[in-house]
Every structure is written in C-alpha cells, then in structure tokens.
Chains A and B, each alone.
Chain A
C-alpha cells in the first residue's frame, strides 16, 4: 500500500475506491458486533461464504461482515442490499434458502422477517422496522455499512475527508470555533462543552500535549462506546486526529477496557491501516502534521474511567483519581496538558467538520445539540442501541423504538446514567432526554445507559445493587466515599433483609448528603443518586420494606417465600424434578409442597411451572400450612 503524500493523493485514492464500487451490486451484510457474535454470527458468515462458492456466486455478490447494527435482541442480523431486506435471528441452516430465494430469485423469505408485535405485520425492509424507523443514526449509521477491519469501506463513505479538510483548508482557530459553535458536549457523562475544553488546552503553550480517547466504558448496562469503537473505529481515530491538530498534540492514547477484546483488536487494525495510508504517523498527507496513537488496555477498574484516574493508569500507575484543583487540560498525563473525551464524543467530531457546525446544531435541543446513542436494555422488547436526537422523550424511546415491556408487564421506571444516575418514574415518562433535563430530575445522562424496569423490579434492591457496585469500585482513597458508601450499603442490606427500622431513610439521606458534598471525585459525589432518586420517587416501597417487612415486587428474598397453590398444582413433577435442593415433596397425582426449611429461594420452580398452571407463587409473611397428605390428591375433572 503506497503512502499518501498529499491531498491530491488522498482524493485520488478515494475516487479509485468509490469508482470500483457499484452501488447496485448485491451485497449481503452480516452483523459481526459482539452481540451477534454471541448469537452465532461467525457461523452464519462461514455458511454464506461456503454457499456462495457452491452456487458459483462469489464474484457476483459482495459479502461484508460489519459493525454492530444495534438491534442486538434479534441477532444474527443479515441485511441484503441494495433493497435493505432485513432478516433476523438468522441461523446457518437458513443460508442456502436465502441465496436461492432472495439473491437469485428475488423473493423475500417471510419467516425470517421481523414481525411487528402490535400489528402482526411482517416487515421486509430495515428502514420500516419501528426500531430503526424512529431513530436518527448520525454516528451509528455507518456501522452497518462498513467492515470495521477495512479502511477502504470507511473512505468510500467519505471517511477521512473531514481530516483532509481540517489539515488543508482550516487553521486551528477555525477548527476550535467550529467545535464550539456546534455546541458539542462530552458524551461520557459530565456533558462539559467539548469546544471549551479543547480551547483551554490549545491556549497553553507546551511542546508536549496529549489527546485521549476514554473507552473505559464502565457503566454496567451501557455498551454504545464498545459498538462504535468495534464497528467504526476509523470514525474515532479521525476525530482524535482532528482534535490533536486543533489543540497542538502529537501523541494520543486510546484507553480501552480489556473486557472488550474485539474493540481492542479492531482499533489495533484500524491504527495500522491508517498508518499504512499515511493518515497517521509522521507528516500526515504531506501536511507537516505528525501524530501517533498508543492503545492501552484497562484491567478492570470502574474508577479508571474517571479522567484523572485514567491518566494515572496510562502512566502505568494505579488508576486512582487525584484532586483536580488544576484541570487535566492543564496538567494531565505526565503533568502535560491532556484533552480527554469519550469514544462517542470523538466520533461526533468528523461529522461536525463535514456537515458544518450550524447544520449539526440544528439537531437536538438548544442546550444539548446533536444525537445521543442510548443502550436500551433491561425489561424492554427491542433491546439494543438506539440513536435519537437529544430531547426525544423517554416514552418515545421505550415504547416507539423499544416496543414496550415484554410479557404484558407494567412499566415502572427507567434508570439512566449508570451507577451515578437515577431512576425516573412513570409519571415523568414524557420528559425530554437531554443533559439538563435529566439532571433536573435527579438522574443524569451519564454515558447513555437506559435500563428499563418493570413492575417486577424492586427499587430498594435496585438502589442496593448500585451501591454494592460502587462499594466494590470505590478506590478507598477518600473517607467520605469509602465510608459513606459502606454505611449506605449496610442500611440498604438491612432493609432488603427485613431488619429495617423507622429512621433508616432519614439516616441514609443524611449520609448521602455528606458523601455527595465531601468526596474527592465524581464517583463519590454522585454515588447517592440512585438511593436518593429511588427514595424520592418510590418512598412507599421503602416504607413497605420497613413497616410491613414486605417487598412489593417480590425480589428481596428474605421478605417472601415460594408457595405452591394447591388449587392450581397439577402434580406434573416439573418443579420437583428441577429443584436443585430437593425441597419439593410430592409425586405423580399428589399435589406438590415446598419444604420451606430446605428451600433456598432460587426461583427455579417459579420459572419452571408452566404458565398455563401458574401454581408457584410468591407470598409475603407466613406461608399457609400445607394440606394434610391424604388431601393432596389431584381430583379428576378439576
């Protein structure tokens, strides 16, 4: 591969690549994101390769293994272009039929189509599926069109054109102004204006400066950064190089979680390919600008995603935060000015340069421009990654795109912002989602995790889950965070285990206040959010735990027992055979009874009892006495 030495070289290459591509040539795209890989996409891809060869079609049909399409619930996803026919949950055995029927004969295979659960309608084209239809995929759209391991795919979609424009047609001031005008705010959680951050770093004179991609996506339940980095790594690299040019940095770091092996692999390949083309390294495209990137793998510590902690980790130290009296843009990695943004923020940069700040800012709300990718997970039908303009309502995201709650259950709340975020109840479901609105509600944007909770979720348990998480992840350096979280967890454990007392809520609120005010970094400062928002919006549930020793959602094990309703039990032996501790007494024709002394409340019987019987139930308080043995007989005709 020849190195590109000038703008003309780059434009020539781009024209060559696009010239070779026929937009009407059939192309099969297979999602190769982590979700679909777990659902078996590599086997589907192998089957396609083999079948195309068998039918002698390998030169007539393009096959592309792309980044994450986002509709992970329905993986493995296959989309056939140019018609955009979308097949869901594709298995290797479906492939010969797809090639013969769809590719050769041009027929749609009905059984592989998405069925709208509301209307029962089968939908053939990707863009008509409600999950996709209501999205605005500015950042994420190219994921499904490109092979992340092939830089040419990115260049064919005008990739690196924004970089070329920056290097040859804009000076650093113009780039800074454009980013400022776009209104871009950091997608990693804080929502700090990116342009201001860059400007501060640019104004400092220092011969060494750094730019950093924070890909230590630690919020449990959030995986959009992973999918962008995995699925379209060049968009992040391009943004990073533009940022480096704007602030005057020549070295960059990408700090990525080791739990994301595919992201590590793809970003490594992308860097190598960009270097080979001369888009990275010395004298990029002959512009005189030098820039190199090093990848650091994280080693499993949530706190390392905090900016100053991440910078310590890059230095090879323990990833603990430090006081930020002096901002990291002034003194960051090795005490040099360092600009850190998360993956999604960097991926926005080329789009802003390409489209222009004004056009970019026309999407979203006044205070929060552009789009945001959410990871819509939990108790929702269409789990996946969802990109919408800022300001879209929670209702639209959960119901229009997410398709509502599975199993006919009732929506209860959404949890946003990860462990530092909060729970938003049903009454506020029409709130628009942007940085400022979410903060007003006591939650926060965070990196964009949106976990849907239904009536079977206990809010006290939810708060305990996050506090337990934060207790593990607090680095322990400062006392308010270390002790405050530990004490809050102790109280929440008491509540969940039936030892709650009057006054506990007031005490936890007082501890929360101190933790928030006195902790060193954002982990401790925001740790009380999950507790405070659940108390604020679901106080009655807390009170039920304290006053009635009852868990209304039936989650806190100490506060309920499993019970087999003798009226409903058909003595089918399913629960009995599957009980891991042999706690169920009974036999064929004899109504089953749970031995409460042996029961570990694992819930297997509850899950296994066929829905048409529904005999296993959860009861609070005293369990009804079992029928005497002679009465445990299934009566015929009942």
Chain B
C-alpha cells in the first residue's frame, strides 16, 4: 500500500522528534490515515530512533488505535453504564445486524467501521452513538437504519 510518508514526517517534526510524545504522534498519524499503516509506524520509529516494538506496544494497548484500515465513517456505540441501563447493548446488536459485522470491524465496502466505547459523556441522551463527530441520542432500535442511510 502506497501512503504519503511526507505526512508522517510532518507529524513527527511537529513534535520536534520527542519520543515522549509517541502516543500523541500516533494519534495524529492515525488522524491522517484513519488507521496506522505498517509503513507509517516504521517511518515514525525510524525518525524517533526507537524500535518498532514500542510503537506496536502502544498501538495494541490503547483502544483508540487501529492496525486495520477503517471505513469512511466510524460508528462508536456507547456502552457506558447510563447507556447500558437504557438498552445500549440492543443498539449495538442492531448495528451489528444491519452492518453485518461485529464490533471492532469494518464493512467490506469500507463504508462503516463499528466500535464500542465505554462512555461518550452524553449520558443524558443515552443510549447514544456517534457517527464520525455527530452524536445521535435517545435511540431505539428502529432509528438505526435511518441513521445509517443518512451517510454517503
């Protein structure tokens, strides 16, 4: 896969090559590509003069990072306590069924990635999901298909 390594360089340079900022660097790199391609990780580590294992350790420990390509839209399903008691898991089941993938995966057409998150901090609106930056709250199962149809 061809990626623009210049974008990676830009990110590392922004943090002045400080290896203490590795987590922030990986977040920004992921911001560029929506996931962490192997070539990008190799480039980061080369520029910071650290072993690639360190980047992989970070990337596999924190849930925000993805080592697989992500879809054009990221659906986060909140399963925080408030959403749980208001039926968040049923919303997740419905999404899994409609998209025909399980949480943590991407649809074959690369349109949607589905993730579960622990709390989005919109507890008053539970159950809540976000699609990219947009929040949809007070959901019931029958709302889901209309929401999914609303994205290109």
Contacts of A319 in B (CB 8 A): 61-62
CA distance A256 to B63 in the complex (A): 15
Most buried by A among B117, B122, B133: B122
Contacts of A296 in B (CB 8 A): 23-24
Residues A299 and B64 in contact in the complex (CB < 8 Å), given A379-B85, A607-B141: yes
Chain B interface: which of A44-52, A215-223, A488-496?
Answer: A215-223
Residue of A nearest to B22 (CB): A316
Residues A377 and B123 in contact in the complex (CB < 8 Å), given A313-B23, A315-B20, A465-B81: yes
B121 touches A226 (CB 8 A): yes
CA distance A258 to B120 in the complex (A): 10
A103 within 8 A of B: no
B135 within 8 A of A: yes
Residues A299 and B142 in contact in the complex (CB < 8 Å), given A35-B122, A313-B23, A580-B97: no
- Chain A to chain B contacts (Cβ below 8 Å), 25 pairs: A34-B122, A38-B125, A39-B125, A72-B125, A217-B121, A220-B81, A221-B80, A221-B82, A258-B64, A259-B121, A299-B62, A299-B63, A301-B62, A302-B118, A313-B23, A314-B20, A377-B82, A377-B124, A378-B81, A383-B82, A384-B124, A457-B85, A603-B87, A603-B141, A607-B140
B78 → chain A closest CB, angstroms = 8
B77 within 8 A of A: no
Residues A301 and B61 in contact in the complex (CB < 8 Å), given A38-B137, A220-B82, A451-B81: yes
Contacts of B63 in A (CB 8 A): 299-301
Residues of A near any B CB (own CB < 8 A)? 34-35, 37-39, 72-73, 75, 217-223, 226-227, 258-261, 296-302, 313-316, 318-320, 375, 377-379, 383-384, 415, 418, 449, 451, 453, 457, 462, 465-466, 469, 473, 475, 578, 580, 600, 602-604, 607-608
A35 touches B81 (CB 8 A): no
B81 touches A299 (CB 8 A): no
CB 8 Å contact bits of B106-132 with A (1 = contact, 0 = none): 000000000001111111111010000
Residues A35 and B90 in contact in the complex (CB < 8 Å), given A299-B63, A451-B81: no
CB 8 Å contact bits of B73-103 with A (1 = contact, 0 = none): 0000001111011110010011001000000
CA distance A418 to B84 in the complex (A): 13
A73 touches B94 (CB 8 A): no
A604 touches B125 (CB 8 A): no
B19 within 8 A of A: yes
CA distance A515 to B118 in the complex (A): 23
B121 touches A299 (CB 8 A): no
CA distance A604 to B90 in the complex (A): 9
Residue of B nearest to A303 (CB): B61
Residues of B near any A CB (own CB < 8 A)? 19-24, 26-27, 57-58, 61-65, 79-82, 84-87, 90, 93-94, 97, 117-126, 128, 133, 135-137, 140-142
B124 → chain A closest CB, angstroms = 3
Residue of B nearest to A37 (CB): B135
B133 touches A261 (CB 8 A): yes
B119 touches A259 (CB 8 A): yes
CA distance A451 to B136 in the complex (A): 21
Contacts of B62 in A (CB 8 A): 298-301, 319
CA distance A602 to B90 in the complex (A): 6
B82 touches A602 (CB 8 A): no
Contacts of B84 in A (CB 8 A): 220, 465
B137 → chain A closest CB, angstroms = 5
A273 → chain B closest CB, angstroms = 21
**19 other contacts beyond A258-B27, A604-B142, with CB at 8 A cut-off?**
A35-B122, A38-B125, A38-B135, A221-B80, A221-B123, A227-B121, A259-B120, A296-B23, A299-B23, A316-B58, A377-B81, A377-B123, A451-B81, A451-B85, A466-B81, A475-B61, A580-B94, A580-B97, A607-B140
Contacts of A35 in B (CB 8 A): 122, 124-125
B6 → chain A closest CB, angstroms = 23
Residues A223 and B119 in contact in the complex (CB < 8 Å), given A299-B63, A378-B81, A453-B85: yes
Residues A38 and B82 in contact in the complex (CB < 8 Å), given A296-B23, A604-B142: no
Contacts of B137 in A (CB 8 A): 38-39
Residue of A nearest to B58 (CB): A318
One of B57, B93, B128 near A38 (C-beta < 8 A): B128
